[in-house]
Amino acid sequence: MPDIKFDFNNMLASNIGRQHGITEIELKQFSKTALKAHKHLRSVLSNPTSRLRLNLEWAMLPYQEESEIKKIQDLGDEIAFNYDNVLSLGIGGSYLGLKAAQEALKPPYYNEFATLRSKRAKIYFEGNNLDPTPLNVLLENLDSKKTFVVVISKSGETTETKAVFEVVAQWLKDNVGSTYGRQIVAITDPASGSLRQRVHEEQKKDPLSFRALPLMHGVGGRFSELNMGLLHLAIMGIDCKDVLVGAAAMADRCSSANFLKNPAYLYAALQFLAYKKKNKRIAVFMPFTESLKSTADWYCQLLAESTGKKFTRKVKVLNDGSEAWSLDGARACGVGRTPVPARGTTDLHSIQQNNVEGENDKTVTMIRVESFKNDVKVPTPDGILSGKYFGQLLALAQEATEWALVLNNRPNCTIAMSEVSPATWGGLLFFFELATAFEGELLNINAFDQPGVESYKNYMYYKLRKPGLSKAIAQEIQKHPLKKDKKYIL
């Protein structure tokens, strides 16, 4: 039975001392706070209106209709077997989950070796930066007639995705002709945004073009891999149900009101206590496998964008019993742990020096994988490595990392996965989504908005003279221009 275990021994005072570790008493004293957070989160999650309004519908994604999943699976097969290449365009939540899935669930060098893809299309990610170089290389080298484009943007407005999509759509049109739109699927908000508008317009001209999958209402970008990422899973030939079943099993495991028995709550609570009581402001996230490298990037986005907030949250209960949240402009808090993605064993030769001997201001979360599908044995006839499997050496390196951290009283914990499979990966994603939502409760912030990200987007929209930008945004930008004094530029 594939499994995920959370080992938090090294977060505790019994292993790393009272100055840096959480004591049994501190944990016990926390139960009231944890129960209050649980009750509030559950009351929001059990109210469909609140879930939709506040963007917590992600918690329902493990339980999607089988018939809908089947349609996505079929579309994925159609694309994968009829085209040589898929260009997946998107940024942030519309990109990182997909990249993480591909690395976790498919072998490395997926695009390089046809045997690894079982005759399916290669997949390239674009639209996640405004650097023109990678896009140019792709468009100069891909055969447009054999390339399918999946453009993902919830808002349908994001500059990076939009700019790249304009170029790619034109490239298709120039080379394929008027039916170019049949090589495009758009995943975007069902009603709003300029991408949705384009879908409507193109479908009027050619009903077979610009097929569209809707993003579910009430699911924010970074919480949406189990929605917007499904087509990508299907293109790779992964059974989406396996991932969803793993997520549902984790949701079940993490349903206890008692935070000491709920792995996701306990993870969040320990990190919160380390942050607030022991001043551990940095969260190093270090899987000991290449396959979870991008999952580390995904989690870092989830944590930073969800919990890095300037204002606390004001909760209002409306007449129908649902909740509305607003920012408490009078109570600036400026909270949130700073995530740092790393990877074992590569970064044991870089960031680990700082983890062990630098400022004791961080926690380290490691992920250990117990078994690898194709393990390799060192053939050397004698010597200390002789006959050892890489999996064994990796496990030893992870144990050694724990030892070095504990010796120096550095808080750390380990998530042990029996294997990286669609089910365990789906479970891992749900674990972190719930832990992040719970951490948001403990911080009393809105973990499901991202005004800090919107602010840079708005500045660009203002400078690009985007129609419809609110007056308030324009005025704020005019009131606070960037100041550049030449004497401070050498």
Active-site residue list: 305, 349, 457
Q: What's at 390, amino acid-wise? A: F
Q: Does the footprint of ligand PA5 cover residue 55 (CB under 6 A)?
A: no
Q: Does the footprint of ligand PA5 cover residue 92 (CB under 6 A)?
A: yes
Instruction: Copy the structure tokens of residue 447.
Output: 């973990």
End-to-end CA distance of the chain: 61
Q: Does the footprint of ligand PA5 cover residue 422 (CB under 6 A)?
A: no
* CA trace torsion 9, 13, 16, 19 (10° rounding): 150
The CB-of-51 to ligand PA5 minimum distance in angstroms stands at: 17
Vertex 99: Cα angle to 96 and 100 (nearest 5): 85
Residue in 31, 7, 38, 447 with CA at minimum distance from that of residue 273: 31
Q: Does the footprint of ligand PA5 cover residue 155 (CB under 6 A)?
A: yes
Reduced to 3 states, what is the DSSP secondary structure of residue 338? strand
Phi–psi pair at 283, nearest 5 degrees: -120, 100
The CB-of-95 to ligand PA5 minimum distance in angstroms stands at: 8
Which residues, 248 to 307, sit near ligand PA5 by CB under 6 A? 305
- CB nearer ligand PA5, residue 22 or residue 195: 195
Partner residues linked to 415 by β-bridges: 6, 367
Given 295, 355, 450, 458, the residue binding ligand PA5 (CB under 6 A): 450
Residue in 2, 421, 31, 18 with CA at minimum distance from that of residue 262: 31
487 vs 490: CA distance, rounded Å: 7
Given 149, 453, 458, 461, the residue binding ligand PA5 (CB under 6 A): 453
Q: Which stretch binds ligand PA5 (CB under 6 A): 219-227, 287-295, 424-432, 463-471?
A: 219-227
47 vs 151: CA distance, rounded Å: 32
The CB-of-478 to ligand PA5 minimum distance in angstroms stands at: 24
Using CB under 6 A, count the residues that bind ligand PA5: 15
Q: Does the footprint of ligand PA5 cover residue 94 (CB under 6 A)?
A: yes
**Which residue is it, tokens 């016990």?**
28
113 vs 131: CA distance, rounded Å: 27
Q: Which stretch binds ligand PA5 (CB under 6 A): 155-163, 320-328, 408-416, 466-474?
A: 155-163
The CB-of-419 to ligand PA5 minimum distance in angstroms stands at: 29
Q: Does the footprint of ligand PA5 cover residue 401 (CB under 6 A)?
A: no
Q: x-or-dash pattern for ligand PA5, window 296-315, by CB under 6 A?
A: ---------x----------
Q: How far is CA 49 from the centre of its chain?
A: 25
The CB-of-102 to ligand PA5 minimum distance in angstroms stands at: 17
- Interface residue list for ligand PA5 (CB under 6 A): 91-94, 153-155, 158, 161, 220-222, 305, 450, 453
